[in-house]
Structure 1
Amino acid sequence: MSESIKSTIQLNNGIKIPVIGLGTYLTDDSDIEKSVRSAIEQGYRHIDTASYYKNEKKIGDTIKELIKEGKVKREELFITTKVGTWQHGYENALKAFQESLEKLQLDYLDCYLIHYPGTYSEIPKGESMSSLRSQTWKALEKLYDDGKVRSIGVSNYAISHLHELLSNCRIKPVMNQVEFHPYLFQEELLNYCKSNGIVLEAYGSLSGGNEILTEPVVLEISKQLSKSPAQVLLKWAIQNGLVVIPKSIKPERVYENSNLDFTISNEDIQKLNHLNKNKRFYWDPSNVN
């Protein structure tokens, strides 16, 4: 099993997503152009952002420039953004999408996700978080029907949220983007998504500062394969069936993160799986009703 920057997998609606993408969370505005430009020039075709990241305009500017320079064509790109936690609700989500589309300066999106099953805003009187999620999803279904987005999905959804959605949706989500690394090996969620035809996409693959990158088991496998700890962690996720979206502003790291043309043995995959501590570095959706 060897992945390159051109490797893709098919989503449940038939469209293809590159297995390796560029994450842009917490990338400073001053660094976004360098990061996106470096990634696309090195062959990345999948860029992940969100309204919450406050960098859609800068990403849009950079993509527009690269298209103008002939470095890439719009139809070659897979661009994902997300409805913010404060943008739940039918009308709010439609408005949020339009704002993101205008900032990104695109005619359509490749994927639009609900960023989180909860909200940090006040829930309107007579509503519940469950009903707000349902309304938000209905807005995404309309955007999909109208051809404004090629696929729709969710992020940070636990099994309970997915079950609720699958019980009521007209269009099934193509993806669930969640924190996923050896310290948070969400096996039950992974199996649930696989059995329902939903791709699991990993964020935070290299999170926790140096904690995971200096984990002895990771270092041992890294040395054995003559690959960096980051490459081992990303390849581990891909061999477990996930899409990965590592972020970096350093061109050499951007390249390293996409150079995954090797295979980790099943034995070593199991060693990494068994590092699970249910340890999160980001949001915990398990208490969201």
Structure 2
Amino acid sequence: MNYKSKKFQLVSGDLIPFIGFGTFQIRGEQLIKDVLNWALSAGYRSIDTAAVYGNEHDIGLALKDLLPKYNLKREDIFITSKLSPSDQGDGARDAVVKSIQNLQCTYLDLYLVHWPGVSGIPTDSDVNSKSRAASWKSLIKAKDEGLVRNIGVSNYMVKHLTELLADCGGVKPAVNQVEWHPSCHPYDLKQLCDKEGILLQAYSSLGGTGNKNLLKDATVISIALKLGKSPAQILLCWALQQNVAIIPKARAKERIDANIDLNFVIDDEDMTLLGNRKSERYAWNPNTVQ
């Protein structure tokens, strides 16, 4: 399977690459330009950012210079950004406009509600559900205006997604971006997404930091050695073989190149072995948000 060119058809009919380039914690005008230069050269055509990442402006500057370098147009690139939890509510449409201005483009391909809660609001407050419902209505307006082609969510668990689908204004979320790796793979969530035609997109594919980094896991290393691949490639391919999209981030050219070079197959036995782990989240836990 050549995942480098594989795409998923969203509920809108638009196509999104299965492998995107993540930019979380990558900041600085020159660094952003360097990594995006290497990413475009390697074949990435999807870029993932968020308002809270603080790098939209630098991504916009970089793309303005880099797209002509690779004979690319705006429509050749799939750009995703996300709503800050501090902007939940009726003002979500205005947040889309701000991201568009920062990225120096005229529309976004995908815009996600980044978190099911609201900044500064207790997780057990019903303000959270009311605010995310208002956000969705506001994002539908942005979609109708052509500001964004697709809208979706991030960190939505089954309860949040079920709530949204029951009152989505006729517009299903196109994507649900969640923590997904061998130690965190809520299959009930994937089953719901598959049933509704929603693409599940993984973040934190390599696990956490320190001793929770799955790159150092003995099983991952053993399978990597057997296949002649890096531990990172094994973890990324593990998600892809389940039809879960990925957005790996990297700052070094060799890792950027390796993260999209995933044309191999992990056998069923090793796929099961990788997934048979104690369930553990390494990022935040959305289940706490009512």
The reply to whether TM is greater than 0.5 is yes
Structure 1 range deviating more: 155-164 or 179-188: 179-188
The alignment status of 1:231 with 2:233, answered yes or no, reads yes
Residue of structure 2 in register with 1:181 after alignment: 181
CA distance in 1, matches of 2:260, 2:238: 13
Cα deviation, 1:10-38, whole Å, max 9, x if unaligned, reads 11221110010100001132422111111
Cα deviation, 1:204-253, whole Å, max 9, x if unaligned, reads 00132363111111111111110000000000000111000000011110
Matched residue type, 2:9: Q
Residue of structure 1 in register with 2:109 after alignment: 110
Residue of structure 2 in register with 1:96 after alignment: 95
- Unpaired runs of 5+ residues, structure 1, are none
Normalised to the residue count of structure 1, the TM-score between the two structures is: 0.95
Residue of structure 2 in register with 1:139 after alignment: 138
CA distance in 1, matches of 2:200, 2:23: 18
Cα deviation, 1:120-154, whole Å, max 9, x if unaligned, reads 2358xx97211111110001111111121111100
CA RMSD of aligned residues (A): 1.5
CA distance in 2, matches of 1:56, 1:206: 24
The alignment status of 1:28 with 2:27, answered yes or no, reads yes
Residue of structure 1 in register with 2:282 after alignment: 281
CA shift, 1:167, in A, is: 0.4
Matched residue type, 1:262: F
Residue of structure 2 in register with 1:256 after alignment: 258
CA distance in 2, matches of 1:273, 1:134: 34
- Unpaired runs of 5+ residues, structure 2, are none
CA distance in 2, matches of 1:66, 1:60: 10
Residue of structure 2 in register with 1:266 after alignment: 268
Residue of structure 1 in register with 2:60 after alignment: 60
Matched residue type, 1:130: S
Q: In the comparison of the two structures, how many residue pairs are matched?
A: 284
Normalised to the residue count of structure 2, the TM-score between the two structures is: 0.94
Structure 1 range deviating more: 201-210 or 234-243: 201-210
CA shift, 1:70, in A, is: 4.5
Alignment of 1:46-85 (within 5 A): 46-85=46-85
Per the alignment, do residues 127 and 226 of structure 1 end up closer, same or farther by CA in structure 2, a change over 3 Å counting?
closer
Residue of structure 2 in register with 1:151 after alignment: 150
SS in 2 for 1:234: helix
Given that 2:118 and 2:131 are in contact with CA atoms closer than 8 Å, whether structure 1 keeps it comes out as no
